[in-house]
């Protein structure tokens, strides 16, 4: 690709109010609401060449995550992701008219598909979908007439786990987290989705209440319901480490549950 991966398209939006009016899609009945963007947290761009587009690989888009709140309640925090069609790689400096000709309708990003499905099915172990909307970029957009999609979900109590923090806990505290994960994980997979890149950061744990949520659906994957628990699911989210001398998928009875530098006892 001839475009820097560091390119950003969704900038200087802090303080902006975004009014979203989700379409009526029973059983979802989400209200029209204005969300105020507080802070940009991240942005990534997926660039495609014209050859990629012609072969059906996909289209170029940017996705940025923001901290936000409802206009009428600044203390209520949520996250917003904005998906934005961007030009085909190598055409970003061409005229707006040329970029306009490559505008496409909204594409079904897996994050919105997953969060809508999980909300419809009443899954309470993921952050709640609060708002969404598909729209078109204006004439001053990077791709005039191209799609722009908004997704807003709840900022649940607790913090994402980190490897340093988790492995500093004593064995009993770590085991309590594993036990909660064992309870929560099947409640998610039975609805057909899970984060496709499992990690401790996808686990939001509230120390005060012991409640846990699983997050990170921007790269969600389809899943099968868990019929019987297997400790390999701990490894999937880095809650345990199998020994390096055996195939980790063969026999979880040989696994260890190490501390940061020494083994659990």
Q: Is the pLDDT of residue 256 over 60?
A: no
- Quick: pLDDT tens for 113-148: 999 999 999 999 999 999 999 999 999 999 999 999
Q: Is the pLDDT of residue 2 over 70?
A: no
| Number of other CB atoms surrounding residue 92 within 10 Å | 17
Of 234 and 96, the structure prediction assigns the larger pLDDT to 234
Tell me the two tokens of residue 179: 């036990």
- Same structural domain, 147 and 21: yes
Which of 154, 173, 203 is where one domain is finished? 154
- Same structural domain, 194 and 68: no
Q: Is the pLDDT of residue 53 over 90?
A: no
CA dist., res. 228 & res. 221, Å (int):
20
* Residue 76 belongs to domain spanning: 17-154
- 219 within domain boundaries: yes
Output the pLDDT for position 232. 87
Q: Is the pLDDT of residue 219 over 70?
A: yes
- 39 within domain boundaries: yes
- 127 within domain boundaries: yes
In degrees, rounded to 5, the angle at the alpha carbon of residue 64 between the alpha carbons of residues 74 and 118 is 75
- Same structural domain, 66 and 89: yes
Number of domains in the chain: 2
- Same structural domain, 215 and 113: no
Q: Specify the residue for token string 């009875």.
A: 253
Mean pLDDT score across all residues of the chain: 88
Output the pLDDT for position 265. 32
The maximal CA–CA distance of the chain, rounded, in angstroms, is: 67
- Quick: pLDDT tens for 163-198: 999 989 988 999 999 999 999 999 999 999 999 877
Average pLDDT over residues 31-37: 97
- Same structural domain, 102 and 128: yes
- Same structural domain, 74 and 190: no
- 260 within domain boundaries: no
All residues at 6 or more sequence positions from 161 whose CB lies less than 8 Å from its CB, including other chains? 177, 200, 201, 203, 204, 205
Q: How far is CA 261 from the centre of its chain?
A: 31
- Same structural domain, 22 and 150: yes
The model's pTM: 0.88
- Same structural domain, 144 and 181: no
- 259 within domain boundaries: no
- Quick: pLDDT tens for 220-232: 989 999 989 998 8
Output the pLDDT for position 96. 82
- 92 within domain boundaries: yes
- Same structural domain, 44 and 149: yes
Burial label, 187 (beta-carbon count in 10 A; 0-12, 13-18, 19+): middle
- Same structural domain, 72 and 168: no
| Number of other CB atoms surrounding residue 78 within 10 Å | 20
- Quick: pLDDT tens for 201-217: 999 999 999 999 999 99
- 262 within domain boundaries: no
Output the pLDDT for position 174. 92
């Amino acid at each position: 690709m001839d475009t820097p991966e560091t390119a950003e398209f969704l900038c200087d939006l802090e303080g902006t109010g975004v009014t979203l009016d989700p379409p009526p899609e029973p059983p979802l009945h989400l209200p029209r609401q204005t969300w105020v963007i507080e802070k940009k947290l991240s942005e990534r761009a997926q660039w495609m060449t014209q050859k990629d587009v012609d072969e059906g690989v996909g289209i170029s888009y940017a996705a940025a995550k923001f901290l936000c709140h409802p206009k009428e309640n600044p203390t209520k925090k949520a996250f917003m992701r904005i998906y934005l069609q961007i030009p085909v790689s190598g055409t970003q400096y061409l005229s707006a008219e040329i970029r306009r000709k490559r505008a496409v309708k909204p594409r079904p990003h897996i994050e919105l598909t997953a969060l809508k499905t999980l909300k419809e099915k009443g899954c309470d172990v993921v952050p709640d979908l609060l708002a969404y909307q598909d729209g078109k970029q204006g004439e001053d957009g990077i791709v005039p007439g191209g799609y722009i999609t908004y997704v807003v979900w709840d900022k649940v109590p607790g913090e994402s786990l980190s490897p340093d923090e988790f492995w500093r806990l004593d064995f009993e505290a770590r085991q309590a987290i594993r036990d909660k994960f064992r309870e929560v994980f099947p409640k998610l997979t039975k609805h057909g989705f899970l984060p496709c890149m499992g990690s401790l950061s996808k686990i939001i744990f509230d120390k005060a209440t012991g409640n846990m949520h699983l997050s990170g659906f921007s790269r969600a994957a389809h899943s099968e319901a868990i019929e019987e628990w297997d400790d390999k699911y701990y490894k999937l989210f880095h809650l345990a480490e199998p020994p390096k001398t055996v195939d980790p998928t063969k026999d979880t009875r040989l696994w260890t549950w190490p501390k940061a530098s020494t083994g659990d006892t």
